Amino acid sequence: MRFPDEDYGRAPRITRRTFMSILLCCCCLLFTCGLGLAQTGGNDIQLHLKPEPLSSIRVHSDLVQIPVTVLDHDDQSVAGLERERFKVFEDRVEQVISHFAMEDAPITIGFVLDASASMRDKLPQSREAVVKFLNAANAGDEFFLVQFNDQVELAADVTTSTEDVKRQLMFIRPTGRTALLDAIQFAVRGMRKASNARRALIIVSDGGDNCSRYTVSELKNLVREADVQIYALGIFDLSGGRSLAPEELAGPALLRAVAKQSGGHLFEIENINQLPEVAAKIGEALRTQYVLGYAPKAVQRDGKYHRVEVKLAQTKGSRKLQASWRRGYYAPVE
């Protein structure tokens, strides 16, 4: 069988009229794409410069923005402070604060729950603490749940459903040893799935690490680079009621150092029944943050780490306040 304008066994011939039609379509397509790029180019620039909620130090153009949490001696959040109470230093040089605001934007929270054997009598209160935090969630918040003992497991992936996380909490059973460093590392990397710019981890644990593959040095470097604040609920038995292993003795210092580097805070629990109350304090701290912005006096787009210090002026006769902030940032590269 033969088809019009075609020889059997050979490719079809393209007529002059067909060729001109194809050429015209290609030209129209190229013109449309070029017009689209021209129209969207300006919008792309506006989107890049548009401010966004912050959970860590961010650099937009030459503006550095730092979230700061202020607590009193009872670990209660303090709101209503004036700009004049704050001073910011970058690489020991004082900066001019040009932006000052308070922020309560949607946040992604990762719960890191110790499920080792030593948590057997503490797990009910630990569950209650997480549930209390979830019950106070705002619209737009999202969560995930990591449990750990010898192994680290993602119990609930990133979700806006608080009920999903509560349901998975009930399946956790304490057993085995404590891979705390591995769990924090896993959770920090899990934040890549987060939709919100503000990100924090809440760790509930009763002691130090005794079986992780990651080292303290590796974890500190990861936290230094990560865009995540870390809050820890430390259930420590330091009363001398029993002989503590070296890793248990080192537990408070480890969690304090990691939290401080990230701009978070370690809450030491003296009574297990205080867990839900302290969880509520963390929720308040995350929703009562000051954002300080400044343009560095010596702008350096060198990709290097720049140390940041925030000083808070104390007033005579008033309660002593403590500020928490991320300790530095890596400058962008030209």
Q: For residue 210, which phi and psi values (nearest 5 degrees)? A: -135, 10
Report which of 321, 249, 294, 306 is spatially closest to residue 92, judged by C-alpha positions. Answer: 306
pTM above 0.85, yes or no: no
Quote the CA–CA distance of 233 and 205 in Å, as a whole number.
Answer: 7
Separation of alpha carbons 63 and 57, rounded Å? 10
Phi, psi at residue 39, to the nearest 5°?
A: -75, -30
In this prediction, residue 11 carries a pLDDT of 42
- Which of 225, 250, 228, 209 has its CA nearest to residue 303? 225
Q: What is the pLDDT of residue 47?
A: 31
Q: What CA–CA distance (Å, rounded) separates 110 from 199?
A: 8
Residue 219, exposed/middle/buried by CB under 10 A (0-12, 13-18, 19+)?
A: buried
Taking alpha carbons only, the member of 216, 157, 150, 163 closest to residue 190 is 157
pLDDT attached to residue 41: 42
What is residue 301's predicted lDDT score, i.e. its pLDDT?
Answer: 79
Angstrom distance (rounded) from CA 29 to CA 45: 25
Q: What is the pLDDT of residue 144?
A: 98
Could you report the per-residue pLDDT of 267-313, keeping only the tens digit for each? 998 888 888 888 888 988 888 899 999 999 877 778 888 999 999 99
Q: Alpha-carbon torsion 158, 160, 163, 169, what sign?
A: positive
Domain ranges of the chain: 14-50, 58-103+289-330, 107-284
Give bridge partners of residue 67 from the DSSP assignment. Answer: 291
Length of the chain counted residue by residue: 334
Is 228 buried (19+), middle (13-18) or exposed (0-12) by CB count in 10 A?
Answer: buried
pLDDT at position 54, please? 37
Q: Are strands 289-294 and 265-269 parallel, antiparallel or unpaired?
A: unpaired
| Cα(83)–Cα(290) distance, integer angstroms | 9
Say how far residue 296 (Cα) sits from the centre of its chain. 24
Spell out the residues 6+ positions from residue 247 whose beta carbon is closer than 8 angstroms to its own: 178, 207, 208, 209, 210
Q: Give the architecture (CATH level 2) of 107-284.
A: 3-Layer(aba) Sandwich (3.40)
pLDDT for 216-229, tens place per residue?
A: 899 988 998 888 99
Query: What are the two backbone dihedrals, phi and then psi, of residue 310, each rounded to the nearest 5 degrees?
Result: -115, 130
- pLDDT value of residue 315: 86
Mean pLDDT per segment of 10 residues, for the chain of length 334 residues? 41 49 49 43 35 45 86 90 96 95 89 94 92 90 96 96 96 95 96 92 90 92 89 78 70 89 90 88 89 87 89 87 90 79
Using an 8 Å Cβ cutoff, are 219 and 165 in contact?
A: no
Q: What angle do CA 232, 138, 198 make, to 5 degrees?
A: 55
The predicted structure's pLDDT at residue 304: 87
Cα separation, 224 vs 313, whole angstroms = 26
